[in-house]
Structure 1
Amino acid sequence: FFLTTSCWSLPTEYLALYNAKLKQADGVLKTQLRKNGNTYSFELMTEPTGFWKVITKGSIIERSTFSIEDNQLKTYDYELIDTIRKKSRESKSVFNWNNSMITGYYKDREINIALENNTLSRIVLQLQIMHNQENHVDSTDYLILDKDTLKKITVFPQEFITETSVPFGKFQTIKISHQSENSERLNSLWLAPELNFIPIKISQSVKGKVSFEANLTQLKY
């Protein structure tokens, strides 16, 4: 069932499945939002499918917990487990707002960074953009923990409202893009107001060439 957009003053719990394509490889992307009291958890998992599952084992899992304070999503932690690559990667970090520090590790590198306002984990950024659109809050610049450094992210104003078709259906969407400082990678979300601003399409492009794309196939509340 679909909740009305007015119900989404806080994120609803949901599970979304996408067909994904990373360059030539096919896969599935699963995103899941859960709520436990005043705290939320968000998880993304990408796995290869079909022929690529035979030659590429493993998955990429990213997790974060957060809360919402005054329209700002407040990240508490971030975890990455990447077993798809030949050399697996792991990262864990804690956002300690009491002493304004981010501590943890990325692979064999220690993380010990001053925590500033408007700092998010890379996956909570997507939910912040969704939350901003739902609540008519202008998206601004954010700081994102990227590996073991903080990077400034610019969220560009909504580009247009258009009708977008994916395997799950056809919806009116708002396209929002964001980009890291000094990066050629442009990340885009096609948000569907009818679906509580959950993205029905996600892409990453480099110099105008799409390197990753995911299209919604299933959505459960």
Structure 2
Amino acid sequence: MDKEILKTEAGCPDCGGTGWARAEDGSMRHCRCLASGRLQRLLEEARIPRRYEHCDLYSYVPNDPTQKRALADVRRFIDRYPLIDVGLLFLGPCGVGKTHLAVSLLKRIVAEKGDSGLFYDFRDLLREIQSSWNAVSQTSEWEILRPVLDAPVLVLDELGSNKPTDWVRDTMAHIINCRYNDRKITIFTANYPDTPGRPGEETLTDRIGVRLRSRLYEMCKLIEIRGKDFRREIRQADYRF
């Protein structure tokens, strides 16, 4: 087993930190605290922001038919993983639960399937890459990108939110194409619609370009979510001082 996996809990009542516990038949087995330690490590390495640590499928309350369908799609995805070869693309306005569902999916894959994953807000990823160009930076661009390219499951939040400069599009293309070629599962969220709902409204294609949007059609199932802004309609009503 991996050395990281063999980390034990020193105060474990079953093994006392040895990593071995006696089973009911008298034989010695690897202690359950090994799995607990590995799960904790995988969740920490997933980089899920504290604001979303509470997210789970049970805490997602659908208030629209599209939200109910999205929740059902996520449950089916988890059930079929890893026997699945396409990711998901959540599209919809702010506050309808796109990131909540994406994080919930990632956490379930880690906890139930034992696979590793990674969460990145695309805006933060670009900032980290740009910071690596600083002469005093201790981190190279490749050190930042490698886990993004290698993660078995990647959640890339807020795709298309940055101003679509040539560099931004080139970076998006590199990440998307590498993961596509390696058949890695990628979960995207974006606030832009697939087709304009009103005159002058920007679409995801406007933000990322025709070629990348076409690539996403091939590597992801589209899940469009509508509904009221949860943050504005419900959270604001809950705030008390």
Q: TM-score, normalised by structure 1?
A: 0.30
Structure with the bigger RCO (C-alpha within 8 Å, sep 6+) is 2
Q: Which has the larger radius of gyration?
A: 2
- More strand, by proportion: 1
